[in-house]
């Protein structure tokens, strides 16, 4: 977790929900997506001197010291190692934090015998029908060499599962409540204060539904992916 998520709400409602500003091109380029996969471009919210802004990021953090895009997975950063793992520790220690909006996310439950496992996809969304805000960290990265491209990159922070998720998977994204957003986004907030926010979701946070296997193909798209079985 978290390997796929949904962001399909109309852009004007997204900006209103986040209470954020954005460049016009971001709004023009926005398209609803029901199967967002790692390494793709996603939207995240960052604070600039207290002003919330929606920007584009690569989902998969690239550390600032890296000469190339990592060959290993960096779309998730575990709470337990975020301050020690070389890939993530600079971003976390430097207060480089974002919120990643989502309508919901997918997880796969492993069923059956160990010799013949069956993976059942589930869709997790907010119990109160609002949206989700994942805690994330970001790192600006520049490709080395002449004309090196400059991009913003980010990772979703994951933790142990809350009561809603525990029987389905052993990880979950950190979901932040609205009253913690400003604290999380403020780069002056201490590491200890932010770490205190990185806890599993309380019982009743998620609405869960089994969905079809089509979501397993990253090329699959459309609202039908979240329809319950």
Annotated active-site positions, please?
Answer: 2, 107
The region, left, alpha or beta by phi > 0 then psi within -120 to 50, assigned to residue 55 is: beta
* β-strand partners of 52: 47
Distance of CA 73 to the CA centre of its chain: 14
Where would I find the H helices in 19-98? 24-29, 86-93
Integer CA distances (angstroms), 229 to 78, 120, 177, 213, 224, in order: 31, 11, 29, 10, 11
Q: What is the CA radius of gyration of the chain?
A: 17
Q: Which two tokens stand for residue 43?
A: 């939207």
The C-alpha atoms of residue 69 and residue 26 are separated, in whole angstroms, by 24
HSE-up of 116 (CA within 13 Å, CB side)?
1
CA atoms of 99 and 171, how far apart (whole Å) = 18
């Amino acid at each position: 977790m978290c390997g796929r998520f949904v962001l399909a709400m109309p852009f004007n409602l997204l900006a209103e929900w986040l209470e954020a500003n954005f460049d016009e091109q971001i709004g023009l380029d926005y398209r609803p997506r029901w199967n967002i996969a790692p390494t793709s471009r996603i939207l995240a919210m960052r604070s600039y001197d207290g002003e919330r802004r929606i920007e584009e990021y690569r989902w998969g953090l690239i550390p600032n010291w890296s000469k190339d895009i990592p060959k290993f997975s960096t779309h998730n950063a575990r709470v337990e190692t975020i301050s020690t793992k070389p890939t993530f520790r600079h971003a976390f220690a430097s207060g480089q934090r974002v919120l990643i909006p989502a309508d919901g996310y997918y997880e796969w439950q492993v069923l059956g015998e160990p010799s013949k496992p069956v993976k059942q996809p589930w869709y997790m969304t907010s119990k109160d029908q609002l949206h989700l805000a994942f805690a994330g960290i970001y790192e600006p990265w520049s490709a080395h060499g002449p004309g090196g491209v400059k991009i913003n990159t980010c990772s979703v922070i994951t933790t142990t599962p809350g009561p809603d998720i525990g029987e389905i998977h052993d990880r979950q994204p950190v979901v932040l409540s609205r009253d913690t957003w400003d604290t999380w986004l403020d780069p002056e907030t201490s590491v200890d204060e932010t770490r205190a926010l990185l806890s599993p979701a309380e019982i009743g946070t998620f609405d869960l539904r089994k969905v079809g296997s089509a979501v397993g193909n990253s090329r699959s798209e459309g609202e039908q992916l979240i329809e319950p079985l």
